[in-house]
Amino acid sequence: MINTKSDIFDFSKFNSFNEKVAELLINSLKRNLSQKQQTYLALSGGNTPKPIFELLANEHSKTIDWSKVMIFWVDERTVPQSSSESNFGNAKRILLNSLDGVKFFRMRGEIDAKDAAKEYEQILLKHLPLKKGVPVFDVMLLGMGDDGHTASLFPNSDVLREKTKFVKAVWVEKNNSYRLTLTIPVINKSKSRIFAFHGKTKYKLFKNILESSTIDYPIQMLEYKNQKNYFIIGKDLK
């Protein structure tokens, strides 16, 4: 259940929303780099992060030593990186090309989905610190869909019950395609998570979720006790 202990920031201005997400992300990376030589970030895709990536590329390409940041993805569509649907392709075009020395590991959406999931799990196990065998991110940027999904954890999907695998290929009926996604065990292990979403439907859903005593949506199936959670929301950003 999402506890109201989470830091919730509610914006009406589009620029302020994006600036807050960028600020939280950069501060989290800085905090980690003040304690160690490498920090681990996982990015979501979709449309919401695009202006945030632009802000990071334009305002923060020199704010931190990006060569000490290792970037991974929370999920990916099963398309080539050249596709406009590719989460990696969009992040590379908008953000990564501006970050000197940044290291990144994409999910290969262009190969067999099950093979890509297995491959990415090995990449996580190779590069990330582990806690009780689970890869640990320092910070994760997550979104939410109108149906309460986050990452590619869609309602009524088997992946919501995955307890051992860290990356799964998920058939998404409504998209008639596979998605690649981190699973709940990995998402729960991240030290901090920044949830960023806006729009009337998502806003109303989130407010209902905060008041609800039942667990009906994937975003509620994450655990919210052992990490720092931020919610950056907006109803109708101008």
Min separation Cβ 197 and ligand 6PG, Å = 6
Residue 34 engages ligand 6PG in binding (rule: CB under 6 A):
no
CA distances from 191 to 29, 54, 208, 212, 223 (A): 11, 25, 26, 25, 12
Secondary structure class of 115 (helix, strand, coil): helix
Among 39, 150, 192, 227, binds ligand 6PG (CB under 6 A): 150
Residue 151 engages ligand 6PG in binding (rule: CB under 6 A):
yes
Nearer to ligand 6PG, 91 or 102 (CB): 91
Residue nearest to ligand 6PG (CB): 143
- Residues 19, 63 contacting (CB under 8 angstroms): no
Among 32, 45, 187, 194, binds ligand 6PG (CB under 6 A): 45
Min separation Cβ 150 and ligand 6PG, Å = 6
- Residues 146, 204 contacting (CB under 8 angstroms): no
Half-sphere exposure of 216 (CA within 13 A, CB side): 10
Question: What is the rounded CA–CA span in Å between residue 78 and residue 177?
Answer: 7
Residue 147 engages ligand 6PG in binding (rule: CB under 6 A):
no
Residues lying near ligand 6PG in the complex (CB under 6 A) are found at 44-48, 74-75, 87, 143, 145, 150-151
